[in-house]
Amino acid sequence: MDFSLNAEQQQFRDTLRRFVDKEIIPVAAEWEHSGRYPTEIVAHMREMGLFGITTPERYGGIALDMVSFALVYEEISRGWMGIAGILGSHNLACWTVARHGTEEQRERFLPNMASGEWRSGIGLTEPGAGSDLQGIRTTARRDGDVYVVNGTKMWITNARHAAVLPVLVKTDPTTTPAHRGMSLLLIETDTPGFSVSRDLGKIGYKGTESCELVLEDVRVPVENLLGGVEGRGMQQALSGLETGRINIAARAVGVAQAAYDAALDYARQREAFGKPIAEFQAVQLKLADIATRLQAARLLTYWAASKADSGARVDAESGMAKYFASETAIDAALEAMRIHGGYGYSTEFVVERLYRDAPLMAIGEGTNDILRTVIAKSLVAGTTLIG
């Protein structure tokens, strides 16, 4: 067993780390609190090719292995988790088009998406349908050579900057079970009837917008039906979420790493009763707990990523990684805040942002409670073996 990165992955991580240390960390606190959009950071990520990490090379991407994919989100989230969100939804959309699109759709959309010239996200969640995607109400009625789409989508990342969005719709609302009547449509955002109605306020996960979309009689060409066949949208979306959970797990590892770094640095510098608080056993125990769980979460994430590279299904493995890593990030952020004492509650220290960002990973790409049932069903069915 080899638990280390190979030479190419180490070099890639070092490049990412230098970028984060130079371009993201110095501005993260100020821009996050002011609500300033990270335009310059996005431009640099485009130059680095990070908008094409899930796109095959033949369509202009760099098609990273899944461990390197995880490194992108880990390192960027160490600096500012909201920036990772800009890439996350976009690269999920690219992966979905590359995996399930027709050749014409790949050639038409992926080159501009991989370069970052066209931004994207994915339109799944609705006001009354989050974890229960079969409960969506957005419909797409066939009218000759177009679909007429009506509905509302919520919590859509990159909505204001997207050129095209894969949107989950019901092409046949009468079918039972409901997923057999669901499809993904590639909706171009300049189509009449497509509008971003509002930005949704959040306690954390800033730097990228999360929006409500309204679709009113949006006429989408039939050739924008992902894969060209109706009724496959649910399966297409769920297959993307498998890799999406590796993204979320890696983000959580990055947040936990930032919490650990901040806690350790502060404990070494802060003095009480004539010595650094790092010399007090109570603080040492907290640092040991954070470090141990952090490394376990990282290895679990890389394990899931490595298995995804083999071509196997990783719904249970990515679920385990996302579940454990996100809970670790929440605990690490809270313990780092406690180590900082009163200063941990101050906006001048990074731990208050980590404390606000961490809970999102327990919610996004499937809540942790739902993922625990996904893991359990895989174990009971014998499709995932432990030991």
- 209-254 pLDDT tens trace: 999 999 999 999 999 999 999 999 999 999 888 889 999 999 999 9
CATH 3.20.20.70 assigned to domain 7-115? The reply is no
Task: For tokens 């090719």, name the residue.
Answer: 49
What are the residue numbers of the active site? 365
- Please say whether the beta carbons of 109 and 236 come within 8 A: no
pLDDT tens-digit series, residues 292-326: 999 999 999 999 999 999 888 899 999 999 999 99
Of 336, 340, 354, 243, the closest CA to residue 293 belongs to 336
Domains of the chain: which residue ranges? 7-115, 133-229, 235-381
Tens-digit pLDDT profile for residues 322-357: 999 999 999 999 999 999 999 999 999 999 999 999
Report the alpha-carbon angle 67-68-72, nearest 5: 120
Whole-number Å distance between alpha carbons of 266 and 290: 14
The pTM assigned to this predicted structure is: 0.95
> 236, exposed or middle or buried, with CB in 10 Å at 0-12, 13-18, 19+?
buried
pLDDT category, 3, cuts 50, 70, 90?
A: confident
pLDDT confidence tier of residue 262, bands split at 50, 70 and 90:
very high
Equal fold, 133-229 vs 235-381: no
Across the strands, what pairs with 221?
Answer: 146
| CB contact at 8 A, 51 and 45 | yes
Give the pLDDT of residue 18. 98
* Domain 133-229 coded CATH 3.30.70.250: no
Which pLDDT value is given to residue 242?
Answer: 84
Q: Which CATH class is domain 235-381?
A: mainly alpha
pLDDT of residue 384: 79
**What is the pLDDT, as a whole number, of residue 267?**
98
